[in-house]
Structure 1
């Protein structure tokens, strides 16, 4: 079974990302920074937050659904705000999504928030609402159930340091994984955590019996040349049993986002 975890950067590199996921065909795709704008058929809109201006693929969720037609998609919004078509406001939801190949029975799932709650009338003040999604599937290849939980960790404008909010977020993430998992499951927790490798968040996840794959396998970054700021880590993947891991890789080429895809083969 192949699991891919990726922050999709709002579909900014849509022309590169869609062919890549179509070619790789992960059995489970955990995708963060997903845009869903059902009120428009436009391809591109603009995100504006002060001097932070980014192009956004207006219906990124729809685009990935079309790229993975044999997958069952779930979109988990964290907030609904507005994007811009020149000077026209367009309502748009922002969050994360999980795509599960239809050959994998989904035998449990939990959707919830790891920071704040759904923001229905704007993206909100930083640090903004953050959702998470957990699924439990049965993998016939290994004859066992596998639970996968992912989140997009809160962004603090002051940096990636430990904070009480991040500690609470980690506890909620572990609780969501606990809620969907049963004894004997292989457990995976992944996502764009927005923390450093020595963070309290990762120590709490390790304390819950999970092994962090990125730094323990010697990878020195989960960012690529699209990312111009300091700090080379954001994305992590942890497993409960390393003996179940066939391969694990952090993909720097091709560049399909300003984050690298994390790919786990079981």
Structure 2
């Protein structure tokens, strides 16, 4: 990486369950700073190879990618279940972390898990479904919950590429607090996967200095990459001014 880029503050991107790092490509292509879209472990292997992974395995795999990156200061951008991983990752990288952006992200309290942020009835139902039906929803649910504002072709691509995760990504608890850095929450007003009312609770847990809204469903990096990119650029500018 060119030295001038190494000296800039960058973005580390964490996607949500079932997705891949290329989901961020249309956001990243217009950013004038270093960007690292993280990959989850054993992505190209069979589900059996991933099924016993713990949340710590996910975190360690991502931390290795950040450790090998040449950029010394960065903002973590976390989407959906990626918020849980981001909190855990941030606790390991406090000397390099300068900010955090949560996009319709799950933000559990210290000692919580992804499941713990769900409303009580949903939590019980989702726990049962994870252990009986696995972590890949039916295609109809992917289209309805994740892709409600996407084109048919975009929804088909998301559904076709959806990769089931290890159950422990949803159930393992993290024993870390929200980092003491500048924070922003991006609320998605048309989201049917993590609905706005639940996002409001996540905002309370996160205590960000600012909240921005996008009128999109769960995947703004697909439906409105320009709008999301603009929000990230504004946050980075504000963070640099504060430094």
Q: TM-score when scaled to structure 2?
A: 0.36
Q: Which has the higher helix share?
A: 2
Q: TM-score, normalization: structure 1?
A: 0.34
Greater strand proportion? 1
